Chains A and B, each alone.
Chain A
Amino acid sequence: MKYMLLLYSNESEIPQTPEEQQAAAPAWYAFMQEVQAAGVWVSNHGLSPVATATTVRVREGKTLTTDGPFAETHEQLGGYYVLDCPDLDEAIRWAAKIPSVTYGSIEIRPLNHWSQ
């Protein structure tokens, strides 16, 4: 079963300076190695900060474009992993190993049948 693990955190709490980012990198690299070695990794990406977000809606044929994310929230979506796990317990186990889980949160969503 494929699960998308959505990484939320407060952008002010993620590593900011190049030094901080460099210090955090090995943990992310190790996680990537581990999911790939376990054969559960499907895909992943990180997102640029919400300051770069644009939201689009089409209403009555008109395209409305606004600056900013869909909703202003305390924690922002920062990236995702898609993992192929036998069940939810396994997905929870992996989620608990994502480096940002100690300061942010991970939302686990099963992919629906059409996209599996």
Chain B
Amino acid sequence: MITKTQIETTFREEHGRVLAALISQLGDFALAEDALQDALVNALERWEVTGVPRNPGAWLMTAAKRRAIDHLRRAATWERKVPLLDLPDMEDEPEMDDAIADERLKLMFTCCHPALALDTQIALTLHTLGGLSTPEVARAFLVPVPTMAQRLARARKKIREAGIPYRVPPADLLPERLEALLAVLYLIFNEGYCTTGGDTLTRRELCGEAIRLGRVLVALMPQNAEVHGLLALMLLHDSRREARLNAAGELVLLEAQDRSRWEHGKIQEGIAVLDTALSLYDPGPYQVQAAISALHAEATTPEMTDWAQIAALYDTLLKLSPSRVVAVNRAVAVAMAQGWDVGLALLHQIEDVEDYYPYHAARADLWRRMNDRVAAAEAYQAAIHLCGNSAERAYLQKRLKEML
């Protein structure tokens, strides 16, 4: 007996590929989505009785094409404009074409086009490539379903009417567009990883989905080092997900995590993917971050962490993509490698961090280690005042109490 969950898993796996191929053939984003939606409803009814077919993707593709032809025929009858047979021989195609051309890369670049707002890029990527339903995407981002539905509808409309191309960008645009695409995948991952509010199941799904899309991208662009780098980074972070919260749901920092709860399969895979990335000799910020994450993962106890190496990697990262996040993390790594006071001095050289809570949290932590309780308490208070994440604030408050 086939279950609804099995069918939904199949949908999730096939959605992006089938939709991408459909858009290529129909040349119309909205029509392809509607047709696939109809085909999915149809499949859900049929497969519960007949079981999942041998090649579910081909089944969905054929069914969706039929629905698209129906749509077009109706539109043509109503509007009498009959551009119908611009679609050559669709009906002559064999029952099932087993090999669906993989057009997902085009779909990824269209969904992450900079002419769409970042929120929209994220939602569209999850919806079209990840096959998450509108309510699922809405739930993941804590917005009402009608708001999300409207956001997605507007995006489809803009893609069509503003002429956002459906293609892999030409060489001169590719680096910039790929950077945006990787950023969207990483944002989806972080949305699942960093936010501790909301439904944990949804959060886990977001991480899982970002990793799945990362794998798809690795398969489609195997020669790009940063694509591998991002997948490695997500796998390595994800290996620690379960250990980040204790039984009470409180945040546990890396140093205090129960390392036996780390997922070693993911660590090994992450390191293997990182090795592939490094063998392509084209360093970039995701690879460096993955390398830092790998050094943490390889330390069996916090004391075994190779902080000197981590500090050197942060130096590189700061050159590749300078930001206050990286600058603060680098100072912390230097503190661990060379001494609290050296790190503290570095922290105090960073500019524009007065309103940035990790800066205050890092200072507080170093003063705590140096046994300067007054200074530490003051910095914890500043951090608590600025921190918007409830789990992290609870952690800081606990530390503050220890100082008083």
Q: Contacts of B163 on A, CB cut-off 8 Å?
A: 1, 3, 85-88, 91, 110
Contact with B along A1-42 (1 / 0, CB 8 A): 101000000000000000000000000000000000000000
Contact with B along A75-102 (1 / 0, CB 8 A): 0000000000111110110000000000
Q: Which of B115, B162, B163 has the most CB of A within 10 A?
A: B163
A111 CB to nearest B CB, Å: 10
Q: Is B164 an interface residue (CB 8 A)?
A: yes
* B169 A89 Cβ-Cβ under 8 A: yes
* A87 B164 Cβ-Cβ under 8 A: yes
Closest to B166 in A: A87
* B161 A89 Cβ-Cβ under 8 A: no
Q: Contacts of A89 on B, CB cut-off 8 Å?
A: 164-165, 169, 173
B110 CB to nearest A CB, Å: 11
* A110 B165 Cβ-Cβ under 8 A: no
A-B contacts at CB below 8 angstroms, number: 25
CA distance A80 to B161 in the complex (A): 20
* 11 additional A-B residue pairs with CB within 8 Å, beyond A86-B163, A88-B115, A89-B165: A85-B163, A87-B163, A87-B164, A88-B113, A88-B162, A88-B163, A89-B164, A89-B173, A91-B163, A110-B161, A112-B161
CA distance A112 to B161 in the complex (A): 8
Residues of chain B from 140 to 184 with CB closer than 8 A to chain A in the complex = 161-165, 169, 173
B154 CB to nearest A CB, Å: 15
A-B contact pairs, 14 of them (CB 8 A): A1-B163, A86-B163, A86-B165, A87-B163, A88-B115, A88-B163, A88-B165, A89-B165, A89-B173, A91-B163, A108-B162, A110-B161, A110-B162, A110-B163
CA distance A1 to B160 in the complex (A): 11
Tell me whether chain B's interface is mostly helix, strand or loop, or mixed: loop
Q: Contacts of A3 on B, CB cut-off 8 Å?
A: 163
CA distance A82 to B384 in the complex (A): 53
CA distance A110 to B173 in the complex (A): 21
B354 CB to nearest A CB, Å: 28
A92 CB to nearest B CB, Å: 8
CA distance A71 to B223 in the complex (A): 51
CA distance A76 to B113 in the complex (A): 27
Q: Contacts of A92 on B, CB cut-off 8 Å?
A: 115
CA distance A3 to B173 in the complex (A): 20
Q: Contacts of A85 on B, CB cut-off 8 Å?
A: 163
Q: Contacts of B173 on A, CB cut-off 8 Å?
A: 89
Closest to A109 in B: B162
Closest to A1 in B: B163
Closest to B169 in A: A89
Q: Contacts of B162 on A, CB cut-off 8 Å?
A: 88, 108, 110
Q: Which of A85, A88, A110, A112 has the most CB of B within 10 A?
A: A88
List of 8 A-B pairs having minimum Cβ-Cβ separation, nearest first: A87-B165, A87-B163, A1-B163, A88-B163, A88-B164, A110-B162, A88-B162, A89-B165
Q: Contacts of B169 on A, CB cut-off 8 Å?
A: 89
Q: Contacts of A108 on B, CB cut-off 8 Å?
A: 162
A84 CB to nearest B CB, Å: 11
B378 CB to nearest A CB, Å: 41
A107 CB to nearest B CB, Å: 12
CA distance A1 to B165 in the complex (A): 12
CA distance A86 to B162 in the complex (A): 11
CA distance A45 to B161 in the complex (A): 24
CA distance A112 to B165 in the complex (A): 17
Closest to A3 in B: B163
CA distance A100 to B163 in the complex (A): 24
Q: Contacts of B161 on A, CB cut-off 8 Å?
A: 110, 112
Residues of chain B from 292 to 320 with CB closer than 8 A to chain A in the complex = none
A100 CB to nearest B CB, Å: 20
CA distance A92 to B164 in the complex (A): 10
Q: Contacts of B113 on A, CB cut-off 8 Å?
A: 88
Contact with B along A49-80 (1 / 0, CB 8 A): 00000000000000000000000000000000
A74 CB to nearest B CB, Å: 21
Closest to B172 in A: A93
